[in-house]
Structure 1
């Protein structure tokens, strides 16, 4: 192994110290019982409490801001950041797209997780859905069908369909995670590509899922969802096996 592939000890130690400092800052937030939107201690106070220099502190604060832990508002100070899943979505999107240039493993794993999440919660969803909400879900299906007939993509209506399915659960964390997985999947889907003939089939799949939900047939709805995701996996595998890593378009 060449020396160029080895991280110098000094640099490695510095990285360890910065990660430890980031952990200390997060622990301070927790120990002071701060909540999203609350003001953070000033840089001077943090330097004193944590026993570090200002430059070292700022390096860690920049990382925590990128991770969505804190929010730095220039001229106003630092605050505990509200829920923000952008960093997670960006990281997973990059890993999924990168995997398409190789074996597609991460892209397939992301589909697996999304499938497990949606199919696993289908029963709970059906138990909570109302007739009024079913009207909204079908409206999303109708929108997909109309666009498919014109040969137009329907990414927004598709995302709305899946969001509406699980909205009755009232779980904000779930909705945020679904939004993350949708953003990631959308990027992967754009790269893998789809033909016009797939649009009508995909709209039909969503119509069948809606009908199973309306009939309160949880096993069938879950089975249809599983089949839908099997199709997505098949497209990813076909793309990777065809060997088109340099024909990708974001």
Structure 2
């Protein structure tokens, strides 16, 4: 059985230490998203490392969405985004579908917990402007459903606008990530299962959630949102049963 030798472990430890040093430098200098980092030469001198080691660490931080490099301009603190988290979760969720879908089910549970847990706060501060925007997405879904067209963008807009009243950028980004991952999972298992809700039924489910929000009925909205996730839970359960 192959083992990882001491030198390999030491190299990994040095890389982790260097990435930590770079992130500490960003924090200690109070750099903000979009701010430039010191030049490569300056970082090499300040951190006491060679060019190859520094570039390897920068690649890791790029993959994590912490640093952004622009050819001919240098390195910058990356803008706020969760693209690295999205890619990782989407991969894990889709991979799990090949092995009974356990992680995919966990991702659905987390998204449901976020939405049902926060809907009450959103309803308490929802404005008429948000209600109008929310209903517009429902109308788009209903029109698309009547024509037999998919309405993924309207669906995404619905869930985004639903929580916009909370004015929480991190929450909006995180819910966006979970929406993307959820639909990537749903698209995979939906192709394999014929018992999906119809487009009309899905649009009607969103209409019901909207009406509960407009009526400021928190309990009804919470129950309707929870029920909204039952379809994919059932598909995952069927898939697990077939994998036994």
The two structures share one fold, judged by TM-score above 0.5? yes
Is this contact kept in 2: 1:212–1:220, CA < 8 A? yes
The structure 2 residue matched to 1:9, chosen from 6, 11, 27, is: 6
Q: CA deviation at 1:132?
A: 2.5
Q: CA deviation at 1:118?
A: 0.7
Cα distance, 1:197 vs. partner?
A: 5.0
- 1:198 deviation in Å? 2.3
Residue 133 of structure 2: which of 131, 136, 140 is its match? 136
CA distance in 2, matches of 1:176, 1:235: 26
Partner of 2:64: 67
Q: What's the secondary structure of 2:19's corresponding residue?
A: helix
* Residue equivalent to 2:200: 200
Q: How many residues were matched structurally?
A: 241
Q: Does 1:171 align with 2:171?
A: no
Distance in 1 between residues matched to 2:223 and 2:81, nearest whole Å: 32
Query: Which residue number corresponds to residue 123 of structure 2?
Result: 126
Match of 1:153 among 150, 153, 168: 150
Secondary structure of 1:40's aligned partner: coil
Secondary structure of 2:68's partner? strand
Deviation of 1:242 after TM superposition, in Å, equals 3.0
Matches within 5 A, 1:181-200: 181-193=178-190, 195=194, 197-200=197-200
Query: Which residue among 74, 78, 85 is the counterpart of 1:77?
Result: 74
Q: Deviations over 1:18-66 (max 9, x none)?
A: 0111011000111111111111011112112211111111100111112
Aligned twin of 2:52:
55
Kindly indicate whether the alpha-carbon contact (under 8 Å) linking 1:21 and 1:60 is maintained by their aligned counterparts in 2.
yes
Counterpart in 2 of 1:246? Answer: none
Partner in structure 1 of residue 241 of structure 2: 241
4+ long deviations beyond 3 Å? 194-197
Query: In the aligned structure 2, how far is the partner of 1:61 from the partner of 1:136?
Result: 41
Select the residue among 111, 114, 119 that pairs with 1:114.
Answer: 111
Cα distance between partner residues in 1 of 2:40 and 2:130? 49
Query: Structure 1: how far apart are the matches of 2:197 and 2:34?
Result: 48
Counterpart in 2 of 1:216? 216
Quote the Cα distance in structure 1 between the aligned partners of 2:125 and 2:92.
35
Structure 2 unpaired stretches of 5+ = none
Shift of 1:200: 1.8
Q: Bigger CA drift: 194-203 or 115-124?
A: 194-203
- Name the CA distance, whole Å, in 2 between partners of 1:223 and 1:197: 18
- Mapped pair 1:89 → 2:102: no
What is the rounded CA distance, in whole Å, between the counterparts of 2:77 and 2:136 in structure 1? 39
Question: How far off is 1:149 after superposition?
Answer: 2.1
Cα distance per residue 1:118-173 (max 9 Å; x no partner): 11111111111122321211121121122222222211111111111111111111
SS in structure 2 at match of 1:212: helix
